[in-house]
């Protein structure tokens, strides 16, 4: 298969490049290819992919709040350019979306078909991308919502906690924000299995289980051999930032599980990631990732 992967140098993109290495690949990313440019759409269509894996996005959640124009230009208009190219050549498209399309006000888990309720600019721009893919790729798309991604070369919650622990004697971490930590390598492998089924639709793919940021940080420090580092549980509202994260946007994997696709526990995945030294993959470090 000819497979185009956008955001190929990002945290997930580089794992997708590795997971699909047996295929004919074109990895698109800045600065060579900018999805906000209409000309990119023409070049992508001219390459005639069978499948487009769209992982490129403006993922700095606070940056999106400060610059909504850029957020919608990349995450909505850019997605439209990618989707139009796929539509033109009859390619299938897989769009990576986020748990943040849900407002997280429910204590329950969110299923694939739940009503979207995005709050932040980032979330609204990603939800717009979902709508564009549904409209343009009628019937030939996968929407894969993920959460709390960590992977080699990325600037993610794990690397941030480890860096903070190097600088300070104690940490303060939100105990009221919950999500599903997800290892980029596991996710890329699961996406490989998903597209092999040809079952188009909406999916929630994360490592199994969920936790609070506080619990996530505790496990990171335990695996780093510093279980006694003091970590104070705080409310996320005590940590002022431009965007307000959803507090309980926890995803349930119902659709992929019905196909036999279930990722291992986030604790096992985190242990593998940290044992590998966090940066065992080719490519340059990714941009600031969403927390
Ligand atoms: N990280 C998370 O926790 C998380 C959670 C839920 C969903 N997601 C979604 O998962 C996907 C992958 O996330 P990630 O963590 O791998 O992100 P990432 O590391 O920031 O990678 C995104 C890639 O897209 C590129 N990109 C940005 N703007 C572009 C443009 N205009 N044209 C072409 N490429 C562009 C980035 O390049 P630069 O680095 O040069 O900007 C980067 O290489 C995204 O769709 C994101 O919304 C992520």
CA–centroid distance, 193 to ligand 1, in Å, is 22
**Does residue 223 lie within any of the structural domains?**
no
Closest residue CA from atom 14 of ligand 1: 11
Count: domains in the chain: 1
**Does residue 143 lie within any of the structural domains?**
yes
Q: What is the pLDDT of residue 107?
A: 87
If one counts every other C-beta atom within 10 angstroms of the C-beta of residue 172, the result is 16
* Cα 184 versus chain centre, distance: 8
The per-residue pLDDT of the chain, averaged, comes to 94
Closest residue CA from atom 34 of ligand 1: 29
Q: State the pLDDT confidence band at 283, using cuts at 50, 70 and 90.
A: very low
**Does residue 173 lie within any of the structural domains?**
no
Contact 34 CB / ligand 1 (< 6 Å): yes
The pLDDT of 192-207, averaged and rounded, is 98
CA–centroid distance, 287 to ligand 1, in Å, is 7
pLDDT tops 50 at residue 282: no
Give the atom of ligand 1 at the shortest distance from the alpha carbon of 122.
47
* Cα 81 versus chain centre, distance: 20
CATH of the domain at 90: 3.40.50.720
Q: What is the pLDDT of residue 289?
A: 25
For the segment 78-122, what is each residue's pLDDT rounded down to a tens digit?
Answer: 999 999 999 999 999 999 999 999 999 998 999 999 999 999 999
Closest residue CA from atom 7 of ligand 1: 98
Percent of the chain at pLDDT exceeding 90: 91
**Does residue 134 lie within any of the structural domains?**
yes
CA–centroid distance, 270 to ligand 1, in Å, is 20
Q: What is the pLDDT of residue 239?
A: 85
Q: What is the pLDDT of residue 291?
A: 26
Q: What is the pLDDT of residue 240?
A: 84
- Domain of residue 47, residue span: 2-149+180-209+249-263
Give the atom of ligand 1 at the shortest distance from the alpha carbon of 95.
45
Contact 98 CB / ligand 1 (< 6 Å): yes
**Does residue 81 lie within any of the structural domains?**
yes
CA–centroid distance, 61 to ligand 1, in Å, is 11
Q: State the pLDDT confidence band at 279, using cuts at 50, 70 and 90.
A: low
Q: What is the pLDDT of residue 288?
A: 22
- 122 as an active site residue: the answer is yes
Contact 158 CB / ligand 1 (< 6 Å): no
Q: Which of 139, 41, 135 is nearest to 89 (CA)?
A: 41
Q: State the pLDDT confidence band at 133, using cuts at 50, 70 and 90.
A: very high
pLDDT tops 80 at residue 278: no
**Does residue 14 lie within any of the structural domains?**
yes
Q: What is the pLDDT of residue 277?
A: 78
Checking 83-86 for CB contacts under 8 A at 24+ apart, the result is 83/54, 83/132, 83/133, 83/136, 83/137, 84/41, 84/45, 84/136, 85/40, 85/41, 85/42, 85/44, 85/45, 85/49, 85/52, 86/44, 86/49, 86/52, 86/136, 86/137, 86/140
Residues 6+ apart with CB under 8 A from 184: 11, 12, 14, 15, 149, 150, 151, 152, 154
For the segment 28-70, what is each residue's pLDDT rounded down to a tens digit?
Answer: 999 999 999 999 999 999 999 999 999 999 999 999 999 999 9
pLDDT tops 90 at residue 247: yes
Q: What is the pLDDT of residue 261?
A: 98
**Does residue 190 lie within any of the structural domains?**
yes
């Amino acid at each position: 298969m000819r497979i185009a992967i956008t955001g190929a140098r990002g945290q997930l993109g580089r794992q997708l490049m590795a997971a699909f290495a047996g295929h004919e690949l074109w990895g698109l990313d800045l600065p060579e290819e900018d999805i906000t440019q209409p000309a990119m759409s023409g070049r992508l269509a001219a390459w005639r992919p069978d499948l487009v894996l769209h992982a490129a996005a403006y993922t700095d959640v606070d940056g999106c709040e400060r610059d909504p124009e850029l957020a919608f230009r990349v995450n909505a208009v850019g997605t439209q350019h990618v989707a139009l190219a796929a539509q033109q050549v009859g390619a299938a498209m897989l769009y990576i979306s986020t748990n943040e399309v849900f407002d997280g006000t429910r204590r329950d888990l969110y299923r694939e078909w739940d009503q979207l309720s995005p709050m932040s600019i980032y979330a609204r721009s990603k939800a717009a991308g979902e709508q564009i893919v549904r409209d343009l790729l009628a019937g030939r798309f996968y929407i894969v919502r993920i959460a709390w991604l960590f992977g080699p070369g990325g600037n993610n919650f794990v690397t941030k906690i480890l860096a903070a622990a190097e600088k300070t004697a104690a940490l303060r971490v939100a105990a009221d924000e919950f999500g599903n930590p997800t290892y980029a390598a596991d996710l890329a492998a699961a996406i490989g299995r998903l597209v092999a089924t040809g079952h188009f639709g909406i999916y929630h793919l994360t490592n199994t289980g969920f936790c609070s940021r506080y619990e996530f940080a505790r496990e990171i420090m335990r695996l780093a051999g510093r279980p006694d580092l003091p970590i104070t549980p705080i409310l996320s509202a005590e940590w002022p930032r431009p965007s307000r994260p959803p507090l309980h946007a926890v995803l349930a994997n119902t659709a992929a599980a019905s196909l036999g696709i279930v990722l291992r526990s986030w604790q096992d995945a985190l242990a593998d990631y940290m044992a590998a030294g966090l940066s065992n993959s080719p490519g340059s470090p990714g941009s600031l990732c969403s927390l």
